[in-house]
Structure 1
């Protein structure tokens, strides 16, 4: 009897953990909301669409924000952001408003303040969601990481990379054939095989750091944001392709800037 009770308790605990994880992660089918200003499903209404999304309207630490020089504390550190990525089988998915790369195994991790976060997926927003001194860029890549460490205060860490129009982005160039097929065949998934996250180039020496939220429903807070200071380049054709491949055919998929609310923003670098 005692053993049966213990098993049921364990199953209940695992179920609760699973529900917490589901509510914390980004929505995979994004057709339930949109980015149109004034829309009944637009950013100003996200928090009203589901009770689990209430943080989108009521949260106090929402993202994205403007990374303004007059709000940034400069922290001098010579250590690079600790990344240990590796090639892994991946799927390219059309989630409704964005194109995402989902790694299906161990694609490596980052280490922030002693906590290891495993790489889960990457996706793109155009134009950029975060701004620097009020300047918005053409594209922003989000690399989403999660930790299973039960003692970690923050369960999700996202690396953001900003892009301006210029030379083609080499990482995106390798994905173009599969993304193009998403457009031509109106598919939701492509299975290109192995994708190496190490090919996503970014500056690991200088980066912004702050605590915010997911930028899509459920807008979960307590996300550790790391935004690379170096702005990289992407071609106009690549940006257009990313927008053409999604279901909504909208011109942008960027959430409006959220109130800073006197949050600590650090610029870390040598």
Structure 2
């Protein structure tokens, strides 16, 4: 449970952005600065157009395998702040804990939200998707994606949406919260190698997408959509990549 929510008078540019995106060059989700043009906006964004392992993708035709499971070591007593970074609502922590994947440790840095879901499951996009972003010492990322649907209740998600700053550049102190409360009961998953879904679209991400969505209230989803009605990158071609499922 969130222990406290304190509004701060912070405005300005946040260094932590959606999925570790670069924010030196302005970009959007539509128009002349939208996804179709990201690669043209900056030399740093060239991979958005030229890359061949881009994300998100449609999770279809997955191959049954035994991909390494994620071992969660998240801190249930971590301290969190919540920021509107101009592209999403993002929660940041300096003591969020870590995960272990294939014997490698990745620190939990932040989690943020997209509407609709960025990944599709057999062509279907859900109302929202949460990304839990982890970074290893070598700079590579491991993102755990959780699909979000309506018709349920989730106290943590509701509290985060109630507290979410409405204006870009604003931040609130959330206090202690256990992010595992945003996970579904089943931990079955898909796995593939991909990229950031926001500029600079770096292809340094191992993706894990949980199969089971978490159910939250329709009203809480609408609260997010009132701030960001659409902040999802279009689906990218899977190319020669395999999508594995456990």
- TM-score bracket for this pair, using the shorter chain length: 0.7 to 0.9
Q: Tell whether 2:229 aligns with 1:251.
A: yes
- Secondary structure in 2 aligned to 1:135? coil
* 1:35 maps to which of 14, 29, 47: 29
CA distance in 1, matches of 2:216, 2:22: 26
Query: Aligned runs of 1:15-54 on 2, under 5 Å?
Result: 25-27=20-22, 32-36=26-30, 39-54=31-46
- Secondary structure in 2 aligned to 1:225? strand
Deviation at 1:51, TM superposition (A): 0.5
Deviation at 1:258, TM superposition (A): 0.2
* 1:159 maps to which of 144, 148, 153: 144
Distance 1:186 1:122, change over 3 A: closer
Structure with higher RCO (Cα < 8 A, 6+ apart): 2
Deviation at 1:80, TM superposition (A): 5.1
Task: Tell me the equivalent position of 1:63.
Answer: 55
Gap regions ≥5 residues in structure 1:
1-21
CA distance in 1, matches of 2:172, 2:219: 20
* 1:119 maps to which of 102, 108, 120: 108
- Secondary structure in 2 aligned to 1:91? strand
Query: Aligned runs of 1:171-190 on 2, under 5 Å?
Result: 171-179=156-164, 182-183=165-166, 188-190=170-172
Aligned-residue Cα RMSD (Å) equals 2.4
Task: Give the total of aligned pairs.
Answer: 229
Deviation at 1:242, TM superposition (A): 1.4
Deviation at 1:192, TM superposition (A): 1.8
CA distance in 1, matches of 2:222, 2:198: 21
Deviation at 1:233, TM superposition (A): 1.3
Deviation at 1:196, TM superposition (A): 1.9
Task: Tell me the equivalent position of 1:3.
Answer: none
Task: Tell me the equivalent position of 1:129.
Answer: 118
Normalised by the size of structure 1, how large is the TM-score? 0.78
CA distance in 1, matches of 2:238, 2:55: 9
**Greater helix fraction, Structure 1 or Structure 2:** 1
Q: Tell whether 2:86 aligns with 1:101.
A: no
Task: Tell me the equivalent position of 2:12.
Answer: none
Asked if the contact 1:98/1:243 (under 8 Å) is kept, the reply is no
CA distance in 2, matches of 1:67, 1:199: 24
Gap regions ≥5 residues in structure 2:
1-16
CA distance in 2, matches of 1:32, 1:171: 31
Asked if the contact 2:186/2:212 (under 8 Å) is kept, the reply is no
